[in-house]
Structure 1
Amino acid sequence: MTDLTHLAVPGTEIAVRVTPRASRDRILAEEGQIRVYVTVVPEDGKANAAVTKLLAKALGVPKSRLDLVRGQTARDKVFRVL
């Protein structure tokens, strides 16, 4: 698991690129970009929930401290740490 605890400061906005229907759940942080791969399908908010859960684990914060600001239906999303 990629360690993103340095980003867990309240007010920080984290831009991620999401790939649904991946072979396994994982987070890659390379060249200043965070890519999140989830195995679930992008329907009824299932992929967003999986991304939130995985990102919260990598940040070391509860899911309730993450807010999806932009990109509810897009692959590029922005989360804010509360």
Structure 2
Amino acid sequence: MDAWHADANGITISVRVTPRASRDAVLEPKAGWLPIRLRAPPVEGAANEALSRFLAGALDLARRDVTILSGETARMKRVRIAGDPEQLAQALERLYRASP
């Protein structure tokens, strides 16, 4: 999958966040990135915090396992998720397939 890259300790995801959406959701991956919609506004780090909480909750991980590596003030971000890379990739695929 082009949207994320795995290594021995987890995965790194390229995401494009759309803030102020009607609901939190992960959409089908595009060419090299994963679209994520969040209800939070892009103000004072609220969308970044919501992204971390959303991914941690959706993937059944601790909040500390999700780290924004780059793009804190941009819509395009790189996010690091610690854990078993195969399980995380499968969980992400289930997550975007379950979203409308």
TM-score normalised to structure 1 length: 0.78
- Looking at structure 2, the residues matched to 65 and 41 of structure 1 have their Cα atoms a distance apart, in angstroms, of 23
- How many Å apart are 1:58 and its aligned residue? 2.5
Which structure 2 residue ranges, 5 or more long, are not aligned?
A: 1-5, 83-100
Which residue does 2:46 correspond to in 1?
Answer: 46
TM superposition shift of 1:31: 4.2
1:19-66 residue CA offsets vs partner (Å, 9 max, x unmatched): 001111111133463111111111110000111111112222111111
Q: In structure 2, what is the equivalent of residue 22 of structure 1? A: 21
Identity %: 37
Mapped partners of 1:10, 1:63: distance in 2 = 16
More helix by share: 2
Distance 2:70 2:11 in 1: 14
**Alignment coverage as a number of residue pairs:** 75
- Name which one, 1 or 2, has greater alpha-carbon Rg: 2
**Which of structures 1 and 2 has the larger relative contact order (alpha carbons within 8 angstroms, sep 6+)?**
1
- Corresponding letter in the other structure for 2:56: A
Identify if the C-alpha distance between structure 1 residues 13 and 50 changes in structure 2 by more than 3 Å, giving closer, same or farther. Answer: same
> Once superposed, what is the RMSD of the aligned Cα atoms?
1.8
